[in-house]
Structure 1
Amino acid sequence: MTVHRRGWLKGAGASLAGLWLAACDQLNRSKAVHDTLAGAEGLTRRAQRLIVPRTALAKEFAEADISPDFRANGTTRPGEPEYRALAAAGFADWRLVVDGLVEHPMSLSLAELRAMPARTQITRHDCVEGWSSIGKWTGARLGPLLDRAGLKPDARYLVFHCADNLGGDATGQYYESIDLIDAFHPQTILAYDMNGRPLPVAHGAPLRLRVERQLGYKHAKYVMRIEAVEDFAHIGRGKGGFWEDRAGYAWYAGI
């Protein structure tokens, strides 16, 4: 009797689990649920910015705190022919394009970026996968670069178009986006050095975004172009970033 009862309970549990998974699947497909989560994300962003000053700095560390083995995630060596040719030439012909809703579109060499107002910071990279590493980053401050380009009044976001393609097709080009509050934050930089040396390919050479008050997937690597836009609904699949489009990651990943 006891064995029979246990079997019944196990079967009932399996049935309930199946129903739960089916319900979860239906919720994942529900536009209403996704819209609700998107609304909650916006509320979280507004609440955080109401409580924390816009210029509040992420914690910075000492040289002794730098991680001896900083993990490289995502793409570690883009296979696209254009990028491989640039890397083979030491990025001598690489240019950063700044365009979109700007008064003065720009095309900058690595040397020109290195001549711009810079910042060095030792910060912790927090990955959505659950690990963290501390690194030292040097790069051009994004704010002064945008001032030089001259944002038009209707510009609200910056889209970072990258060299790596993770999707295997035309829509798979990696990209990320941030708003102007994060763009002008003093710790938001376009990093070209890591731990006192030129940025390694595995970590995004020759240039990666460091937006220190957001999770690691927002720190786009292999940046080729910065586009100022009014919205990003027409870019990729319209969610504001590669992983936001494909895996449901939050667009605002503030920490």
Structure 2
Amino acid sequence: MLLFIVCHVTMVLATDAVQNLNHITLGTDTRSNWALAIVGVAAAVVVSLWLIATPLTIRYPRSVQNTGRFIVGWAKDLMERTTSRATYQENGITPYFWMNGRLPDSELYRRLQRSGWSEYSLRVEGLVENPVRLSYETLLALPKREQITQHFCIQGWSGVAKWDWVGVSDLIDIVVPLPAARWVVFYSFADGAEANTGRYYACHKIEHMRSPMAILAYEMNGQPLSEAHGAPLRVRNELELGFKQVKWVSAVEFVADLRDVGWGYGGYNEDHERFGYRMPI
């Protein structure tokens, strides 16, 4: 991104700066010096803010995270009130769907994988009336549905895929959450990006998990999930960005408060990378 900005600005300035800046700032085909003045002031403000903000964000990252939550939390709350219904046709499926995340490396995962998932069971527990362990065979026997949706990564890329799945709402009906349960936590077999910092997890609001498009996918584009794409199960919550879509799901837990899990910020990336605990699209 930095390289793109440098190259783009260089080309703007090198190929008739005055005219180009008039096009960009004033939308006119003139050679007014006002455009130079506007860009100069704007650049000075941006650089000044950058010089002030950079050392603060490095020194106080958690404070910046909490401040950001306070400033934009209301806007994210409004965006999460929408209902995602965006689906695609099969001719819109992305030919190459990017792979991301640290792969599982535990012996337990390898053993379950070698068994063809016949030894796998999904633990669903926490603040529920009926904690259960559901075998892979049982999960496949639940009502099967499919949807073609677009995945949005926080890194800037996106991809469209067809998912065959069991609805998280089906799990909710089975376990019957207690009134105190407000969040659903999905745990991965994989660790987070940093070595020796614990396994990956993410929290989702329970009301979002009741949506018909909140799913645990076990097939992608008509084939069982590959290891790279999250086998045996991966979460899809079409309201949120990709880092909230946990792959290699090992367990599900219903909790009352974010602070009950991990470092209390809503997910592995929120704990360690200071992301926002929700990232609505």
Max radius of gyration: which structure?
A: 2
What stretches of structure 2 of length at least 5 have no aligned partner?
A: 1-45
Q: Does residue 225 of structure 2 align to residue 194 of structure 1? A: no
* Cα contact 2:65–2:276 (8 A) shared by 1: no
Deviation at residue 221 of structure 1 after TM alignment: 0.2
Q: Does residue 59 of structure 2 align to residue 42 of structure 1? A: no
**Offset from partner CA, 1:2-48 (integer Å, 9 cap, x none):** xxxxxxxxxxxxxx979944642224544554322112342123222
**Offset from partner CA, 1:178-213 (integer Å, 9 cap, x none):** 001211111011000100111111000000001112
Query: Could you tell me the TM-score, scaled by structure 2's length?
Result: 0.78
Task: Determine helix, strand or coil for the equivalent of 1:202.
Answer: coil
Specify which of 78, 95, 103 is matched with residue 68 of structure 1: 95
Given the superposition, is the C-alpha separation of residues 239 and 102 from structure 1 closer, same or farther in structure 2, using an over 3 Å criterion? same
Percent identity over paired residues: 37
Give me the whole-angstrom Cα distance separating, in 1, the residues matched to 2:55 and 2:198.
25
* Alignment correspondent of 1:122: 148
Specify which of 168, 174, 178 is matched with residue 195 of structure 2: 168
Given the superposition, is the C-alpha separation of residues 18 and 44 from structure 1 closer, same or farther in structure 2, using an over 3 Å criterion? closer
Q: Describe how 1:190-229 pairs up with structure 2 within 5 A.
A: 190-229=216-255
Letter in structure 1 aligned against 2:201: Y
* Cα contact 1:236–1:245 (8 A) shared by 2: yes
What stretches of structure 1 of length at least 5 have no aligned partner?
A: 1-15
Letter in structure 2 aligned against 1:24: T
Specify which of 88, 113, 116 is matched with residue 139 of structure 2: 113
* Alignment correspondent of 1:251: 277
* Alignment correspondent of 1:239: 265
Task: Determine helix, strand or coil for the equivalent of 2:228.
Answer: helix
Deviation at residue 74 of structure 1 after TM alignment: 0.8
**Offset from partner CA, 1:58-115 (integer Å, 9 cap, x none):** 310001111111111112x311111111112211101100000000001001111111
Give me the whole-angstrom Cα distance separating, in 2, the residues matched to 1:125 and 1:253.
13
Specify which of 211, 216, 225 is matched with residue 185 of structure 1: 211
Query: Could you tell me the TM-score, scaled by structure 1's length?
Result: 0.86
* Alignment correspondent of 1:155: 181
Q: Describe how 1:45-56 pairs up with structure 2 within 5 A.
A: 45-50=76-81, 52=82, 56=83
**Offset from partner CA, 1:136-173 (integer Å, 9 cap, x none):** 0011001121111010010000111110013332x421
Given the superposition, is the C-alpha separation of residues 27 and 119 from structure 1 closer, same or farther in structure 2, using an over 3 Å criterion? same
* Cα contact 2:104–2:191 (8 A) shared by 1: yes
* Cα contact 1:140–1:189 (8 A) shared by 2: yes
Task: Determine helix, strand or coil for the equivalent of 1:85.
Answer: helix
* Cα contact 1:94–1:109 (8 A) shared by 2: yes
* Cα contact 1:162–1:224 (8 A) shared by 2: yes
Deviation at residue 253 of structure 1 after TM alignment: 1.0
Letter in structure 2 aligned against 1:139: W
Given the superposition, is the C-alpha separation of residues 47 and 28 from structure 1 closer, same or farther in structure 2, using an over 3 Å criterion? farther
RMSD value, Cα: 2.1
Tell which deviates more after alignment, 37-46 or 147-156.
37-46
Letter in structure 2 aligned against 1:25: P
* Cα contact 1:123–1:135 (8 A) shared by 2: yes
Higher RCO (C-alpha 8 Å, min separation 6): 1
* Cα contact 1:125–1:133 (8 A) shared by 2: yes
